[in-house]
Amino acid sequence: MGFINGGRKSANKSDGKVFVKQKTLKSSINCAGIALHSGAKAVMTLRAAEPDTGIVFVRTDIAGGGAVIPATWDRVVDTRMCTTLANEDGITVGTVEHLMAAFSGCGIDNALVEINGPEIPVMDGSAAPFVFLIECAGIVEQDAPRRYLQIRKPVAVEDADSSAYLKPGAGFALGFEIDFSGTAVSRQALHVELGRGIFQTELSRARTFGFLNDVERLWAAGLAKGGSLDNAVVVSGERILNQEGLRYEDEFVRHKVLDAVGDLYLAGAPIIGAFHGICSGHGTNNRLLRNLFADAEAWTFVNLTQEEADAGMPGGAWSQEPSERLAASA
């Protein structure tokens, strides 16, 4: 395909240092499942891609060889209950965040995602099935240095009910806080430092969740038509309706971090820095990236030697404790 992540190629260096290399899939692999919001059957194939391609979605149901949709922050056109991308012709693909999180967690830089409709299959509501697909396909290094997005100064998005921040840091650290008082979700906070398989073990199995009293409203909006207890944690007041219960005690906040990992990978490169979200969602995550890229002094692309990458993972400086703002809202 030839699309370049963020419009910039990684700089090749020839000073004898061993740089972290880009990665793609070793072989193609496919799956099928239900689309969370449309309820339609979705068939998807993951394929290898050339260096500096990035993650690219291809709608195979569009005549003329398919419609190409680059997975970048500036292609986000809708953030209601999921992240939806579109190309210049208005062709969309939605619910990309769990797959993008799996690509990020597995270190995949370049891949083609062929999909036969406007939405990625939800599978079990987590990123774990996509991690499994990637691991089954295999991962191979490519002869090109990996590009990282280094945060150089803080950027933020704030409104009355939510906020999100990015600031400089070593490695990639994420913190998140949620507050659904009076429900089984309640107030939860989490801090994780990604690297060395942390995504796979601590985040990938966390499922999307919703509230039973919101179902009719979502259906009226054309959303969640494929949702069920097989692909989401459903909450009714203080009760979890899924018979098997939760996969993690704090599965709700872990899924919010998973979503953030996927949304932030639309930056076009893995981030070196620290993220923190308070009661935020897909829209806030995308606005944060837009604010970041609007300030040329807030970011830069860099290549890392393997030694530098090993020294910088994990890293970050966000506290695991709930912030003063969240505590004050209790």
Residue 69 banded pLDDT, cuts 50, 70, 90:
very high
Least confident of 149-153, 181-185, 257-261: 181-185
E strands within the chain? 21-25, 29-34, 41-48, 55-59, 67-70, 76-78, 84-86, 92-93, 111-115, 139-145, 147-151, 155-158, 163-167, 172-180, 186-194, 209-211, 233-236, 239-240, 271-278, 299-303
According to DSSP, residue 117 is labeled S
37, 191, 255, 282: the active-site residue: 282
No. of helices (H) and no. of strands (E), the chain: 8, 20
State the pLDDT at residue 312. 65
pLDDT of residue 225: 81
- For residue 9, pLDDT beyond 50: no
For residue 238, count CB atoms less than 10 angstroms from its CB and return exposed for 0-12, middle for 13-18, buried for 19 or more: exposed
Q: What is the pTM of this model?
A: 0.89
Active site annotation includes 282: yes
> Cα–Cα distance between 226 and 40 in angstroms, integer?
7
Place 327 in a pLDDT band, splitting at 50, 70 and 90. very low
More confident residue, 10 or 225: 225
Q: For the chain, list the domains and their CATH numbers.
A: 19-145 (3.30.230.20), 148-328 (3.30.1700.10)
Question: What are the pLDDT digits (tens) for 101-124?
Answer: 999 999 999 999 999 999 999 999
pLDDT band at 15 (very low <50, low <70, confident <90, very high): low
